[in-house]
Homo-oligomer: A and B are copies of this chain.
Amino acid sequence: MQTTNENISYGGRQLVLTHDSEACKCEMKFSVFLPPQAETKPCPVLYYLSGLTCSHANVTEKGEFRRAAAEHGIIIVCPDTSPRGEGVADEDVYFFGSGAGFYVDATEAPFSENYNMYSYVTKELPALIAKEFNADMSRQSITGHSMGGHGAMVCALNNPDTYKSVSAFAPICAPSGTDWGNNAFTKYLGSDENIWRSYDTVALIEDGNKVPEIFVDQGTSDEFLETGIRVNLLEAACKEKGIKLTLRMQEGYDHSYYFISSFMADHIAWHAKRLG
């Protein structure tokens, strides 16, 4: 693992790191914020999964998470959204391939070679964090935005004992049935829609997967609300299956980091409470 950037911020250390990934068979880049408390004691970890087109950099520069992370003593880990680079299969669109791994383990060639973001995020990256930093791995939580909100909820619903809590900003709630999701799942996972269900939040909940609660912020002026996000389907599934959903419809907010940053501190405080 190599540190490519290190900046002191809010009394902690903001790092950008690269490493050769086993899961993705390419060099992967991610950022880690180590709060000042990590100098002296193991700190809990919050993963933030980013949305379509993003890398670790967007949230690291524009997410405004460091103040609250330093206050609560939480390590913030921000992975990339896909494998990248020469030799990694890709298509020249923003909603599939590079920047759009959808946090699945692909089964279909040529994508299955590198596009294993589910294993990367749930296994390889946590193992790295455990090894390299002063992290208390018994206290992990996960959040994300848009495609990354989908990723966060899918990771939590499939691994309810791993994550203490899950939240999301404007998450894609039911990718099966959206243009983005159908396209990505077909190419990554093949045409058997039953296989898609383990990577679809609403389907996972319908199929009986459970977490105690989910916290979601959603802008009312989000251009993707009706066609991509479909938070109404999440609401219905949570109600049906008895999952406590705290859904805040934020008046006038859009899908951007101006929205995310406005409520980032609330999410970190919410996770901090559950991380103990």
Interface residues of A (CB under 8 A from B): 7-11, 14, 61-62, 64, 66-67, 219, 221, 251-254, 256-259, 261-262, 265
Pairwise interchain contact B66-A10, C-beta atoms closer than 8 A? no
Residues in chain B near residue A221, CB distance under 8 A: 8
* Extra 17 A-B pairs, beta carbons < 8 Å, given A7-B256, A8-B219, A9-B262: A7-B254, A8-B221, A8-B251, A8-B253, A8-B259, A9-B253, A9-B258, A9-B261, A10-B261, A10-B262, A61-B62, A62-B62, A64-B64, A66-B261, A66-B262, A67-B67, A67-B265
User: Nearest Cβ distance between residue A111 and chain B, in whole angstroms?
Assistant: 32
Tell me, in angstroms, the Cα distance from A265 to B254 when the chains sit together: 24
- Majority secondary structure of chain A interface residues (helix, strand, loop or mixed): mixed
**Copies, count:** 2
Tell me, in angstroms, the Cα distance from A235 to B268 when the chains sit together: 39
Residues in chain B near residue A257, CB distance under 8 A: 61
User: Nearest Cβ distance between residue A37 and chain B, in whole angstroms?
Assistant: 16
Tell me, in angstroms, the Cα distance from A259 to B9 when the chains sit together: 6
Interchain Cβ contacts under 8 Å between A and B, 11 examples = A7-B256, A8-B219, A8-B259, A9-B258, A10-B261, A10-B262, A61-B62, A62-B62, A64-B64, A64-B261, A67-B265
User: Nearest Cβ distance between residue A5 and chain B, in whole angstroms?
Assistant: 9
Residues in chain B near residue A11, CB distance under 8 A: 262
Residues in chain B near residue A8, CB distance under 8 A: 219, 221, 251-254, 258-259, 262
User: Nearest Cβ distance between residue A148 and chain B, in whole angstroms?
Assistant: 19
Residues in chain B near residue A219, CB distance under 8 A: 8
Tell me, in angstroms, the Cα distance from A14 to B252 when the chains sit together: 12
Q: Which residue of B lies closest to A263 (CB)?
A: B10
Tell me, in angstroms, the Cα distance from A66 to B64 when the chains sit together: 10
Tell me, in angstroms, the Cα distance from A127 to B274 when the chains sit together: 50
Tell me, in angstroms, the Cα distance from A114 to B18 when the chains sit together: 44
User: Nearest Cβ distance between residue A57 and chain B, in whole angstroms?
Assistant: 11
User: Nearest Cβ distance between residue A1 and chain B, in whole angstroms?
Assistant: 21
User: Nearest Cβ distance between residue A251 and chain B, in whole angstroms?
Assistant: 8
Residues in chain B near residue A67, CB distance under 8 A: 64, 67, 265
Pairwise interchain contact A7-B61, C-beta atoms closer than 8 A? no
Tell me, in angstroms, the Cα distance from A7 to B259 when the chains sit together: 8
Tell me, in angstroms, the Cα distance from A254 to B251 when the chains sit together: 37
Residue among A253, A256, A262 facing the most chain B CB atoms (10 A cut-off): A262
Q: Which residue of B lies closest to A10 (CB)?
A: B262
Tell me, in angstroms, the Cα distance from A54 to B124 when the chains sit together: 38
